[in-house]
Each structure stands twice: as structure tokens, then as C-alpha cells.
Amino acid sequence: MPALTWLPPDEETPFPPLEKALEHPNGLLAAGGTLSSARLLSAYPRGIFPWYTQGQVILWWSPDPRMVLFPEELKIQRSVARKLRSRHFRFSADQAFAEVVRACAAPRPGQEDTWITTAMEKAYVSLHEMGHAHSVEVWAGEELVGGLYGVAMGDVFFGESMFSRVSDASKMALAQLCRFMQHRGSALIDCQVHSDHLERLGARQIPRSRFVELLDRYCTQAPQAWTLASADSGSESG
């Protein structure tokens, strides 16, 4: 059985090859290290992401297969499409990044722990301030009712989490993200691991080797400005 790689608390030690990831639990590649911006920006282009709960050491994952969503394959129910056209909701990008992360970190029914620890919140806010992490917000009036956030590199968006305070708000945020990505010609949304919910929305699993090929083709580290102005007439720029 392969041994788990432990990373020292520095930014220089490289991740092990993805082939070293464990089969059980699927994709566990390494433990330790830090959540520095440099470490995170080295992880995502390689198909690696952090995922752990409060009290654990940092765990790094690269599951096989990988759950992805190609923006043009998004499946949206008619009821959600009607809400997207409704004047009751408006949408923005990067207008409330920290608030979106905090909302995603809030306890949910049936869950005792959150993987979005205080350290994770700080790490992704730092990436946002550098121009690498972005959010999509859904508003009802002045109230934030849904959204999502993740890391953007080139034509790839690495989705981290989403939340809803009203029915279908996270689906509307995802629809806005997909429209935006299609408009700019972006290729791929990383959904990390399988869920029935994501599968119903059009996401599918692909081999990790194929996922890495797509990252090599579409992923760059240059920070980019985001706007939803072209995605929908009800959107506003970020």
C-alpha cells in the first residue's frame, strides 16, 4: 500500500506525482504543508486541492475520476430559468467575496463540521485580493441570498463551494458562471468530487489523466478581471 506523503511547512517542496495518490480514500495525495498563496497556486494547475475539517492537518487531494462541468453542458430546470429572467434577482461578480465564503462555511443541516476552516477562509480571501479567486453573488434586493466561489486560472474555474438562502439560488449562480464562461470561451469547471446534485446539473466524471491534459491545455496563472455584464441582462459588472 502506498505511503502518504507528508509536506514540510514550506512553499518549495513539490507535491508528489498524482500516481502516488491513494485509492482508499480516493485521491488522498499528501498531508501537511501550508495554505499559502504560493502553495495553492502550485496545487490547482496540477489537479490538486486542499480539503480537510477543523482539527485535522491539511489534506491534499486529486481524485480519480474527476467530476467536471463543461459550461455548455449545464442542465437548468425551467423553473430556474424563469427565476434567472425574473427582475426579482440580480447577479454580480466579486462584489461580496468574503461574505460568500463565510456563507458557504456556515453549518448546514445534517453536518456537524465544515471543511471551510478559518484558515481556509483567510487563504482564499488572499487569493481573491491577488486576482485569482472569484465569486458570483445572487441578490434579492440588498440581501445576499446565494452564490459560489472558486479559483480561476486561464480558461478553468476550480469550484470550491456554493450556498443558497432561498430556493435555487446556488443553481442561478452556477448558471451565471456558465454563461459568463461560455461568453469568454472558457473551457471547464472543476467540481472535484462526484455528487448526485452536480450530476443532475450536467457535471460528469472523467479520468484524472484526461483532466490533467485539459489543465495543461487551458490553465494559466495570470490573474484576470471578472464581469458578469455579458452573461445576462439582469447582471451587473464586478
User: Could you tell me if 98 and 177 lie in one domain?
Assistant: yes
Instruction: Count up the domains in the chain and report the number.
Output: 2
Residue 224 inside a domain? The answer is no
- Statement to judge: residues 147 and 201 lie in one domain: yes
Structural domain for 74, as ranges: 67-218
Among candidates 78, 73, 71, 127, which has minimal Cα distance to 98? 127
| CATH at 16 | 3.30.70.3550
Q: Is the pTM for the entire model greater than 0.85?
A: yes
Q: What is the pLDDT of residue 7?
A: 97
Which of the four pLDDT bands, split at 50, 70 and 90, describes residue 113? Answer: low
Q: Could you tell me if 19 and 114 lie in one domain?
A: no
Q: How confident is the model at residue 3 (pLDDT cuts 50, 70, 90)?
A: confident
In a domain, 233, yes or no: no
| 232 — pLDDT class (breaks 50, 70, 90) | very low
Q: Are 145 and 34 within one domain?
A: no
Query: Do 185 and 136 lie in a common domain?
Result: yes
- Assess whether 146 and 200 both reside in one domain: yes
Sign of the alpha-carbon torsion through 181, 39, 105, 131: negative
Confidence of residue 235 (pLDDT cuts 50, 70, 90): very low
Q: pLDDT tens, 58-69?
A: 999 999 999 999
Peptide bond into 65 cis (omega under 30): yes
Query: What is the C-alpha separation between 180 and 72, in angstroms, rounded?
Result: 11
| SS3 readout for the chain | CCCCEEECCCCCCCCCCHHHCCCCCCCEEEEECCCCHHHHHHHHHHCCEECCCCCCCCEEECCCCEEEECHHHCCCCHHHHHHHHCCCCEEEECCCHHHHHHHHHCCCCCCCCCCCCHHHHHHHHHHHHHCCEEEEEEEECCEEEEEEEEEEECCEEEEEEEEECCCCHHHHHHHHHHHHHHHHCCCEEEEECCCHHHHHCCCEEECHHHHHHHHHHHCCCCCCCCCCCCCCCCECCC
Are 72 and 28 within one domain?
no
% pLDDT > 90, the chain: 81
**pLDDT mean across residues, the chain:** 91
pLDDT tens-digit profile of 140-196? 999 999 999 999 999 999 999 999 999 999 999 999 999 999 988 889 999 999 999
Is the model's pLDDT at 229 over the cut of 60? no
Q: Is residue 89 part of a domain?
A: yes
Inform me whether the pLDDT recorded for 44 exceeds 70.
yes
